[in-house]
Structure 1
Amino acid sequence: MCEVELNTHVYVKMILHAARYPHSTVSGVLLGRQTPGCLTLVDCVPVCHLQLPLSLSMEVALTQIDSWSALQGLVIAGFYQANAGLRDTSINCAALKAASLISEYQEDAVLILMENERLSSSPGIPPLTVFCQNSNKQWVPKDKTLIMWGHWEETQRITRQLLQAKACQRLIDFDNHLDDIRADWTNQELNVEIAKLSAAANGSL
């Protein structure tokens, strides 16, 4: 079974998306690189905070994200969701549909559910559950021994720093882009900021 590795960019941006819209269900697309035996998630694109139906807006988003990610040498590798309710651990039907659609093109695609009750600035262990499809095409929790985290302590520090700086207010999702096409749903400025913080933590600056 394929291992899954999540890097700093993915976690930070998912948390910022949830933090920007704490009273809404948010979701987005996971991007990664596939190598034999391993799927590495390296980025994500926040998509929705207004609604989750697999509507025309979602189809448009997936089409644009697919084209853009291909230029970056990435593939659409999954879907993530954070529910509005603190104790809600259900997966929305639309999220399941989106993840299943992605899995038709990416065999090892994953679905990530963020666990609101465990979200904090220092969660200790990642506050999320990673799902994969079984042989019956059902989404089930992935074996935790097959989930790897790159630089988890560093990721937590960067997340705390950006939350304290209210960087979540600068995160753009596809809903924002549909309201104003000038809004950059790829979040390049935020990506650069996360990269600089990671480089500083690793002594590269």
Structure 2
Amino acid sequence: MADVKFSVRAYSKMVLHAAKYPHCAINGVLLAEEQKSKDDKKGRCLFVCDAVPLFHLCLHVTPMAEIALTQIDHMASTSGLVLAGYYLANENMKDLSYEKCGQRIADKIAENFSSACLVVIDNRRLTLSMENMALCVSQFVDGKWKSKEKSSVSLESNSKSVAAALLQRRVHEQLIDFDNHLDDLSQDWRNLNLNQEVEEEVGTVG
């Protein structure tokens, strides 16, 4: 299996999505580009560069999910990216499972991207200090989802510090997911303003 690395933006947006709706299960998709691993010349490194928040109310209403995935896929393809994974956080704080409905979306992504990953956010690690990586990662291998060793999953430099700073500034209140967008089409699910907030925080922390 390839190593998986998450950008500051992708990690921060997953954390902020879960933080905005602590009373709900949430989900979203991951965008990525592939690159050679610097540590393993024989392998490939999956670099997850962005996360797109989907839902916090009706996670698996099929028509809504299809609309969202179609729009995201179009945006990704015009940006030279690919739908490369699925993330979720469960309502129960200790629950690290992924339900069948969510797995179906992940399986669909894996049909088109063989190195797709499935991420479960560990709610117990969502703190204002964000000292520990809050992701449990599986990858699609030989038709099955297999948990990855922690040593093969990494974050871009300062990801935890940036996520912590954004949480402390309550930037999660600005995040827009597809539920918000479908309620009010003027709300932009691409989160361009939030992306800018992340970049500015990177500059501050760096």
Please indicate the TM-score interval, normalised by the length of the shorter structure. over 0.9
Say whether 1:176 aligns with 2:180.
yes
Identical counterparts, % of pairs: 37
Please, which of 192, 196, 200 is the counterpart of residue 196 of structure 2? Answer: 192
TM-score by length of 1: 0.92
In the other structure, the counterpart of 2:144 is: 138
Confirm or deny: 8 A CA contact 2:132 2:160 kept in the other structure: no
Instruction: Determine helix, strand or coil for the equivalent of 1:111.
Output: strand
Matches within 5 A, 1:31-180: 31-36=31-36, 37-53=44-60, 55-135=62-142, 137-151=143-157, 154-180=158-184
Confirm or deny: 8 A CA contact 2:20 2:172 kept in the other structure: yes
Confirm or deny: 8 A CA contact 2:133 2:160 kept in the other structure: no
User: What is the alpha-carbon root mean square deviation over aligned residues?
Assistant: 1.3
Confirm or deny: 8 A CA contact 1:5 1:40 kept in the other structure: yes
Tell me by how many angstroms 1:90 deviates.
Answer: 1.6
Residues 111-149 of structure 1: per-residue CA shift (max 9 Å, x gap):
0001112221234331220011232x2212113222122
Distance between the aligned counterparts of 1:143 and 1:155, measured in 2? 19
In the other structure, the counterpart of 1:26 is: 26
Residues 149-184 of structure 1: per-residue CA shift (max 9 Å, x gap):
211xx2222222211221111100011111111110
Residues 79-138 of structure 1: per-residue CA shift (max 9 Å, x gap):
000011111122121110011000000000000001112221234331220011232x22
Distance between the aligned counterparts of 1:168 and 1:118, measured in 2? 16
TM-score by length of 2: 0.92
In the other structure, the counterpart of 2:40 is: none
Distance between the aligned counterparts of 1:118 and 1:198, measured in 2? 21
Distance between the aligned counterparts of 1:67 and 1:34, measured in 2? 18
In the other structure, the counterpart of 1:8 is: 8
Distance between the aligned counterparts of 1:126 and 1:43, measured in 2? 17
